[in-house]
Amino acid sequence: SKWVYFFGDGQAEGRADMKNLLGGKGANLAEMANLGIPVPAGFTITTEVCTYYYENGETYPSDLRQQVMDSVKAIETIMGATFGDAENPLLVSVRSGARTSMPGMMDTVLNLGLNDTTVQGLIARSGDARFAYDSYRRFVTMYSDVVLGVDHYHFEEILEAHKEDKGYTLDTEMTAEDWKTLVGIYKTKVKEQLGSEFPEDPVEQLWGAVGAVFGSWMNQRAKTYRRLHNIPGHWGTAVNVQAMVFGNMGEDCATGVCFTRDPSTGENAFYGEYLVNAQGEDVVAGIRTPQSISIAGRKKSGSDLPSMEETMPQTYTELVGIRDRLEKHYTDMQDMEFTIQKDKLWMLQTRNGKRTAAAALKIAVDTCNEGLIDKETAIMRVAPEQLDQLLHPMLDPDAPRKLLARGLPASPGAASGQVVFTADEAEDWVQKGHKVILVRVETSPEDIGGMHVSQGILTTRGGMTSHAAVVARGMGVPCVAGAGEIRVDANAKTMTVGGTVVKEGEIITLDGAKGEVFLGEVPTLQPELSGDFADLMEWADAVRRMKVRANAETPEDAATARKFGAEGIGLCRTEHMFFDPKRIIHIRQMILAEDEAGRRAALEHLLPYQRKDFVELFTIMQGLPITVRLLDPPLHEFLPHTDSEVGEVAKSAGVDVAEVKSRVSMLQEANPMLGHRGCRLGISYPEVYEMQARAIFEAAVEVSQTSGQTVLPEVMIPLVSSRRELELLRGLVDKVAKETFATKGTEIPYHVGTMIELPRACLQAGVIAEEAEFFSFGTNDLTQTTLGMSRDDSAPFLEVYAQKAIYPRDPFQSIDVDGVGEMVSIAAERGRATRPGIKLGICGEHGGDPSSIQFCEGVGLDYVSCSPYRVPIARLAAAQSVL
């Protein structure tokens, strides 16, 4: 069978669409050769050989050798040089190349084919002994390190010692004779380390390098990289063997890297860097400062080193021509590597270039407007997750900074402020005109006020779904969670990392998108929501099927949701409306009351607040549907903790402190998440849901009567596990609706439905749908209960789980398709069987996660609901999931 694909001299056996077989690099080299772009001749050994190699005890197919040697011959013919020849030796590079690029993870050998004989030919051909011996020593070092396993530092040591002997400080002071001497010493070192000679035979060198590249597929670095990027081990790597061209043969030689457009801004300007008289690794190594390829680039960078456009105008023009051809051909921004040998331009690589989020957006929209791609392709060119970076202020990439600690990237955006250690202090400081960052071990619902006024939130404990993370994302406040290296001493009002102590009032900066904490202030840049962003969103909206709603309960969140294009509220968590200090007292009083009369007294106080909230929400959402979830939280979230909180409740309820304390201890639960929460509260205290339903319907009538605006309330019952629960509570809601409409003289259409967030509810969805007009999947709780993993406590072990590839991603962030996903599918199917056309949505954190959204499209949900700042991400992801 065919194991080797040749390219060179204007033709190739491979093509760009053969990446699986030839790897990205090999496929694109073949494509360039076919396009007639100057590519040094070479061949690609396929990824199938890699697979064979590992399946057959690290051996090769028997017919590989012949195919490789035939291809070497073909290179010789095209390049007019001969492998191992003393007069005109062919030298080759041997590089890895997987389907997707795995930068720096696998091995490369350059200048292969050099030995004591061929180096003479190289001297003769180049007329430069220093260059030839420099190449030779680079080869011996690289080959020894990569193929023979003799560590690089041995050679570094020898070089340093030699330079010291000679009184040199720079490598450039080394003469041809010096390098020649070193090659000898290097080889002796190899013999000393291995007990055998450095291989002189180029063919032996070639097979050694090929084996090393295949071997590097399974090195630890590569394995780790694959795990992190979800690259399967069975893909394997290809090996590319290609004639060497030299950018370091003199002043008419150069090497460089360029992008068809600016990869950081997306601007349609040729962007790149090059070095005269250098090899590719010198550009990457950063020893010398590279020069801009274009005059415009040089001016922009403020450099006074001449550009390639100035020093090599003809070659530059040729390169610009290739840039235009490659970009048109691939219809996307390309990242290219080139070498100029004695004024001749050679292309060594092209691939779709990595880019920042801002550049991705601009390039997608621009290339579409230029007619290079259609709108659907443009939609696919931006990763939804990337948009997140664009919706929040971000750190000025050019600003200097001092990293203090790392945690989880819990809520994106960048912010600076003075450190405070309690929510109350946050509110005090902000009142006095300061900007603060709230630093807590972890946050709890009472901190909500302080969290709201803070520029950013930093916690030292907790995961991506910890209270701090969820609330911060909802508010659009940057948050770094679980920064475990930081020690917080709330009494001393300090936080300590390593030896650094940060006191209250000192300034820190958070990058919530990266999970980084910096000392001092780092300047930020504001997001731009018009222009390209608005265009791409409009295109996405035109193709998506699913609606996108937001999880919001405050007027600010609702307004943000509208600004980002939400088509309704999919989850209004009413308990979040009670954390305000003026209100929490009443809810505590309600919870702690001994009897119904006590509860009703407290609820009387809450009704006007709730009604006002709903009036505001209905008004802001202008006729869009609003799903209001009745009270759900585990009670411990509301219980008073401190003596002063207990005292306040006692005073307001007119009872003894001791009595309140005894109620508090009675209500303590061992497992509050599975305790007296959700619809269970409504079942045992119907008056609570009755008050909430009244507030909803009175508000609906009020808005409808005063503004004539349509209102679409959807009343949602949480944590239902059986039909009977819903039947009872729906009866209650319907009764309140009827009473309210009769009293007010206006009828408002409304719906009653349920959250599906327990496995039993999924299984019973067929009968539950008899009572439910809609289902909203609460995948936070459904994940917690399906996996039996606490959403608050699982971050530490889920990290280990991810490392061991048990769950590929945190199931609280990205839906566990096999388990939770099947639950959702079952429920959707059974619900629809009972009530065809039942409205289905999702409102857990997963509603804002692109791969979960793709899953939702597959199940045919009607909408996803997510935090306001993720609405654009969801709009784009929903569009991509139908394309």
Q: Which of 829, 818, 734 is nearest to 783 (CA)?
A: 818
* 781 labeled part of a ligand binding site: yes
* 125 labeled part of a ligand binding site: no
Taking CB under 6 A as the binding criterion, the range among 156-164, 407-415, 597-605, 778-786 that sits at the site for ligand PEP is 778-786
Q: Does 208 bind ligand PEP (CB under 6 A)?
A: no
For the CB of residue 789, give the shortest distance to Mg ion in the complex, in Å.
14
Q: Which of 385, 378, 377, 351 is nearest to 100 (CA)?
A: 351
Q: Rounded to the nearest 5 degrees, what angle is found at the Cα of 511, between the Cα atoms of 508 and 512?
A: 120
Catalytic annotation, pick one of 392, 467, 576, 636: 467
Q: Is 843 among the residues known to form the active site?
A: yes
d(CA 270, CA 266): 10
Max CA pair span of the chain: 105
Q: Does 780 bind ligand PEP (CB under 6 A)?
A: yes
Q: Does 574 bind ligand PEP (CB under 6 A)?
A: no
User: 466, 482 in Cβ contact below 8 A?
Assistant: yes
* Minimum CB distance to Mg ion smaller for 375 or for 629: 629
For the CB of residue 553, give the shortest distance to ligand PEP in the complex, in Å.
11
Catalytic annotation, pick one of 50, 843, 856, 866: 843
Structure tokens, 21: 């077989």
d(CA 246, CA 457): 53
Q: In this chain, which of 205, 240, 341, 779 binds ligand PEP, going by CB under 6 A?
A: 779
Q: How many residues does the chain have?
A: 883
d(CA 667, CA 670): 10
* Minimum CB distance to ligand PEP smaller for 255 or for 754: 754
Structure tokens, 575: 């308990």
For the CB of residue 883, give the shortest distance to Mg ion in the complex, in Å.
31
Beta bridge partners of 6: 43
Q: Is 762 among the residues known to form the active site?
A: no
* 573 labeled part of a ligand binding site: yes
For the CB of residue 772, give the shortest distance to Mg ion in the complex, in Å.
16
Q: Does 843 bind ligand PEP (CB under 6 A)?
A: yes
Q: Does 778 bind ligand PEP (CB under 6 A)?
A: yes
d(CA 869, CA 864): 14
Q: In this chain, which of 516, 757, 810, 857 binds ligand PEP, going by CB under 6 A?
A: 757
**With the CA atoms of 195, 198, 203 and 207 taken in that order, what torsion angle do they form, in degrees rounded to the nearest 10?**
60
**With the CA atoms of 684, 685, 686 and 689 taken in that order, what torsion angle do they form, in degrees rounded to the nearest 10?**
-120
> H or E segment at 49?
helix 47-55
Q: In this chain, which of 571, 660, 700, 720 binds ligand PEP, going by CB under 6 A?
A: 571
* Minimum CB distance to ligand PEP smaller for 532 or for 553: 553
Contacts with Mg ion, residue ranges (CB under 5 A): 757, 778, 781
For the CB of residue 470, give the shortest distance to ligand PEP in the complex, in Å.
7
* DSSP calls for 501-545: EEETT-EEEEETTTTEEEES---EE----SHHHHHHHHHHHHH--
* 778 labeled part of a ligand binding site: yes
Taking CB under 6 A as the binding criterion, the range among 20-28, 503-511, 777-785, 848-856 that sits at the site for ligand PEP is 777-785
Residues in contact with ligand PEP, shown as a per-residue x/- string from 598 to 637 under the rule CB under 6 A: ----------------------------------x-----
For the CB of residue 208, give the shortest distance to Mg ion in the complex, in Å.
59
* 760 labeled part of a ligand binding site: no
Taking CB under 6 A as the binding criterion, the range among 1-9, 362-370, 772-780, 796-804 that sits at the site for ligand PEP is 772-780
Q: Does 573 bind ligand PEP (CB under 6 A)?
A: yes
CA distances, 592 to each of 41, 580, 588, 635, 685 (Å): 81, 18, 6, 10, 12
d(CA 875, CA 391): 13
Q: Which of 817, 433, 853, 606 is nearest to 808 (CA)?
A: 817
Residue type, 188: T
Return contacts of 596-599, CB within 8 angstroms, 24+ apart.
596/685, 596/687, 598/653, 599/685, 599/687, 599/688
**SS3 per-residue string spanning 323-377:** HHHHHHHHCCCEEEEEEEECCEEEEEEEEECCCCHHHHHHHHHHHHHCCCCCHHH
- Exposure string for 450-461, b = 16+ CB within 10 A, e = fewer: bbbbbbbbbbbb
Structure tokens, 565: 């294009």
For the CB of residue 842, give the shortest distance to ligand PEP in the complex, in Å.
8
* Minimum CB distance to Mg ion smaller for 617 or for 758: 758
805: number of Cβ within 10 Å: 9
For the CB of residue 717, give the shortest distance to Mg ion in the complex, in Å.
12
| Contact of residue 849 among Mg ion, ligand PEP, none (CB under 5-8 Å per partner type) | none
Per CB under 6 A, which of residues 486..505 are in contact with ligand PEP? none
For the CB of residue 855, give the shortest distance to ligand PEP in the complex, in Å.
15
Q: How many residues interact with ligand PEP (rule CB under 6 A)?
A: 10
| Contact of residue 552 among Mg ion, ligand PEP, none (CB under 5-8 Å per partner type) | none
For the CB of residue 677, give the shortest distance to Mg ion in the complex, in Å.
9
d(CA 612, CA 633): 21
* DSSP calls for 11-24: EES--GGGHHHHHH
For the CB of residue 610, give the shortest distance to ligand PEP in the complex, in Å.
17
* DSSP calls for 160-217: HHHHHHHT--SGGG--HHHHHHHHHHHHHHHHHHHSSPPP--HHHHHHHHHHHHHHHT
User: 808, 841 in Cβ contact below 8 A?
Assistant: no
d(CA 533, CA 540): 11
Residue whose Cβ sits closest to Mg ion: 781
Beta bridge partners of 587: none
- Exposure string for 113-151, b = 16+ CB within 10 A, e = fewer: bbbeebbebbbeebebbbbbbbbbbbbbbbbbbbbbebe
Residue type, 481: A
| Contact of residue 844 among ligand PEP, Mg ion, none (CB under 5-8 Å per partner type) | ligand PEP
Q: In this chain, which of 388, 648, 771, 781 binds ligand PEP, going by CB under 6 A?
A: 781
Task: Write out the catalytic residue numbers.
Answer: 467, 843
Q: What residues are designated binding site for Mg(2+)? A: 757, 781
Q: What residues are designated binding site for substrate? A: 573, 629, 757, 778-781
Residues of this chain that interact with ligand PEP (CB under 6 A) are 571, 573, 632, 757, 778-781, 843-844
Q: What residues are designated binding site? A: 573, 629, 757, 778-781
